[in-house]
Chain A
């Protein structure tokens, strides 16, 4: 039982760390990646799989 709880704790810690890191990395763009409003430059997401050209992310509008 304790090992299962340890697995749950580790998964939670990794998730929290990863999302914290993502927030830190995206600090200069705010939350604007998914919100392509107007003509503001949209930063391209880090698409790591393959070398195909990256299309624009979807807009919420």
Chain B
């Protein structure tokens, strides 16, 4: 069972998820970033369901295990869809929505196929192939999301995107994915450190915090002031 500090961080993350949706509704951004807000709402409901399963069955129960990993896979797919909608926002003037959607579907299908290929050999005889597939798909989608976020950031720089709210949303997502990848790598290198048990949930608070800030403080159409202006000789 988690400690009091663990429960406090979990509660804070849940409250921040509520704050994202409330800020988006109050600033009329809910529809504009529908997938992001649906992801936050579903994450909120999943947190409540996980707490119910944890308090009823315990952290070592099968019920909690299945709820945790299956819901995590669903949430990761939602986060992937939210990221794709950010792509659609960045490329909206280029009229390539059809191709972005096509690439997103192909990438999701390819990730699922790759995950199935990975678990096929290991879990074929154990009867836990579906559980292994869900776990592997969730893991792989994290890394796909990380790469996609950096590609999107490159596109933002290349296209000289200046909508500050959109940039804040993408950058916070990049920091979020990068922090998890770095933590995961360090955890693999130093598996005996208990320090990471608190770091991962704290990172879970950062994304809703950054998104709530973006919705609350930045106007949807606010633009960044260019850092450098081209000097044109007269």
The residues of A with any CB-CB pair to B shorter than 8 Å are 3-4, 6-8, 10-12, 14-15, 17-19, 21-22, 25-29, 33-35, 41, 43-61
Contacts and interface: CB of A to CB of B under 8 A. Distances in A.
Contacts of A58: 65, 69, 123, 128, 131-132, 135
Contacts of A8: 102-103, 106
Contacts of B43: 49-50
A6 B99 contact: yes
Question: Dominant SS at the A interface?
Answer: loop
Contacts of A10: 103
Contacts of A22: 139-140, 143
A40 to B, nearest CB: 9
Given A45-B139, A57-B135, A52 B10 contact: yes
B128 A7 contact: no
B85 to A, nearest CB: 17
Given A18-B140, A49-B204, A11 B110 contact: yes
B90 interface: no
A39 B1 CA distance: 20
Nearest to A23: B143
10 contacts: A8-B106, A18-B146, A34-B136, A44-B200, A47-B68, A49-B43, A51-B14, A53-B1, A53-B59, A60-B126
Contact of A18 (B72, B99, B131, B147): B147
Interface stretch (B161-169, B178-186, B210-218): B178-186
Contact of B132 (A12, A14, A18, A34): A34
B196 A55 contact: no
Q: Point out which of A17, A43, A49 has the most chain B C-beta atoms below 10 A from its C-beta.
A: A49
B203 interface: yes
Q: What 7 pairs between A and B have smallest CB-CB spacing? A: A51-B10, A51-B201, A49-B75, A51-B13, A7-B103, A46-B184, A11-B106
Given A29-B188, A44-B200, A58-B123, 12 more contacts: A14-B147, A17-B147, A18-B146, A21-B146, A25-B188, A26-B188, A41-B192, A44-B187, A50-B75, A51-B13, A59-B126, A61-B126
Interface stretch (B18-26, B29-37, B46-54, B225-233): B46-54
Contacts of B71: 49
A30 to B, nearest CB: 9
Interface string B92-108: 00001001101110110
A47 B139 CA distance: 8
B111 interface: yes
A22 to B, nearest CB: 4
Q: Point out which of B151, B183, B185 has the most chain A C-beta atoms below 10 A from its C-beta.
A: B185
